[in-house]
């Protein structure tokens, strides 16, 4: 048994903490003080048509004892504040954030203990300590997996694969997530709502092309055809956390998801007009200010 700290109690953090605890690992949730005051010490997991479960998971606001693995599951804008709660030594740090911009600050803090990762799961926090998992599986892809992580995930029933380089792992997810998240946000609905709009579907697929080109320029090994097939075959009910955030009136991880595509495009001379247009529409829908010089 190894000791794990899970930073963040959104859908991903709760689902991961519950799975690890159910698998026999020693798990602590790191929560904001206001959230901790409403947390009952138990995580409840609903799993669609499958039987759900509850499991006890201790929680606190600060990590004051060493941990073998720190799982970072907060959203990118919350990362700096969340890290102030980590006051003890950790062996391995596995961030499961969207985008690529979280790695530099984590490396500044933890050095080579950081292992780039990406998680594939549909999980939504429904209340403090409660999560609904709609996906039939959870899969974590890592840029090299330490044995302590592999053992813990196997015990938790979570798939774990070595995805190659950091660029491979992060961009493989981003090339699918960026077009999907941006398009569903603009549609204010699931993927079916995107498919019902011919122009939005065109922008989504063009954004995927731009993301693949940008990722390849950054050194990632990407299969454009696989990304496009995934977008065209994904279930119509598919929603994204960015879309839900914007519906609640917050821009969420808009910059974290779209920023790497636009920034890599600028670095390598790759135009990103579809991505730019989706961002413009998403910002408008969220009611957030557009960047200076942007035209309606």
Does the pLDDT value for residue 250 go beyond 80? no
Compute the distance between CA of residue 5 and CA of residue 110 in angstroms, rounded to an integer: 15
Q: Looking at the predicted structure, is the pLDDT value of residue 73 above 50? A: yes
Per-residue pLDDT at 134: 85
Per-residue model confidence (pLDDT) at position 136: 78
Residue 88 has what DSSP assignment? Answer: S
Closest CA to 90 of 107, 108, 65: 65
Structure tokens at 74: 């907060």
Bridge partner list, 139: 120, 159
Q: Are 95 and 119 in contact (CB under 8 A)?
A: no
Average pLDDT, the chain: 92
Strand 26-30 relative to strand 3-7, pairing: parallel
Q: Residue 288: its pLDDT value, please? A: 52
* pLDDT computed for residue 295 by the predictor: 28
Helix ranges, the chain (H): 11-22, 33-38, 79-83, 103-110, 147-156, 166-187, 191-195, 198-217, 224-233, 241-247, 254-268, 273-286
Residue 189 neighbours by CB under 8 Å, 6+ apart? 239, 243
111: pLDDT confidence band, cut at 50, 70 and 90? Answer: very high
Taking residues 202-207, what's their average pLDDT? 98
pLDDT, tens digit (0-9, with 9 covering 90-100), for 146-165: 999 999 999 999 999 999 99
- Of 291 and 237, more confident: 237
Q: How many residues does the chain have?
A: 296
pLDDT of 65 strictly over 50: yes
- Mean pLDDT over 206-222 rounds to 98
Report, as an integer, the average pLDDT of 4-29.
97
Evaluate if residue 293 carries a pLDDT over 80: no
As a whole number, mean pLDDT of residues 40-58 equals 90
245-283 CB burial, b ≥16 within 10 A, e <16: bbeeebbbbbbbbbbbbbbbbeeeebebebbbbbbbbbb
**SS3 per-residue string spanning 121-179:** CCEEEEECCEEEECCCCCEEEECCCCHHHHHHHHHHCCEEEECCCHHHHHHHHHHHHHH
> Is the pLDDT higher at 65 or at 248?
65
Token pair in block for residue 205: 């697929």
pLDDT band at 285 (very low <50, low <70, confident <90, very high): low
**pLDDT band per the 50, 70, 90 thresholds, residue 286:** low
Q: Is the pLDDT of residue 217 over 50?
A: yes
Lowest mean pLDDT, pick from 105-109, 196-200, 233-237, 270-274: 233-237
Which SS3 state, helix, strand or coil, does residue 286 take? helix
């Amino acid at each position: 048994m190894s000791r794990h700290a899970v930073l963040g109690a959104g859908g991903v953090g709760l689902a991961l903490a519950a799975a690890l605890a159910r698998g026999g690992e020693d798990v602590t949730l790191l929560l904001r003080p206001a959230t901790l005051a409403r947390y009952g010490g138990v995580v409840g997991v609903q799993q669609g048509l499958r039987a759900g479960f509850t499991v006890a998971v201790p929680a606190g606001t600060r990590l004051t004892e060493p941990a073998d693995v720190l799982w970072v599951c907060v959203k990118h804008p919350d990362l700096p504040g969340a890290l102030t709660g980590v006051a003890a030594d950790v062996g391995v740090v596995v961030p499961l954030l969207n985008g690529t911009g979280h790695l530099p600050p984590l490396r500044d803090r933890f050095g080579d203990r950081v292992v780039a990762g990406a998680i594939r799961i549909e999980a939504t926090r429904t209340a403090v300590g409660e999560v609904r998992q709609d996906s039939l599986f959870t899969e974590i892809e890592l840029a090299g997996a330490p044995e302590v992580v592999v053992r813990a995930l196997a015990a938790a029933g979570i798939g774990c694969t070595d995805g190659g380089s950091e660029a491979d792992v992060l961009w493989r997810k981003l090339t699918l997530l960026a077009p999907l998240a941006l398009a569903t946000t603009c549609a204010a609905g699931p993927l079916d709502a995107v498919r019902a709009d011919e122009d939005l579907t065109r922008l989504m697929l063009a954004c995927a092309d731009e993301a693949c080109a940008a990722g390849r320029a950054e050194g990632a090994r990407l299969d454009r055809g696989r990304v496009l097939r995934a977008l065209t075959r994904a279930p119509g009910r598919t929603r994204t956390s960015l879309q839900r955030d914007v519906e609640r009136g917050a821009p969420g991880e808009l910059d974290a998801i779209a920023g790497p595509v636009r920034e890599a495009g600028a670095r390598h001379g790759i135009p990103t007009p579809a991505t730019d247009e989706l961002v413009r529409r998403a910002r408008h829908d969220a009611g957030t200010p557009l960047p200076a010089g942007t035209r309606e």
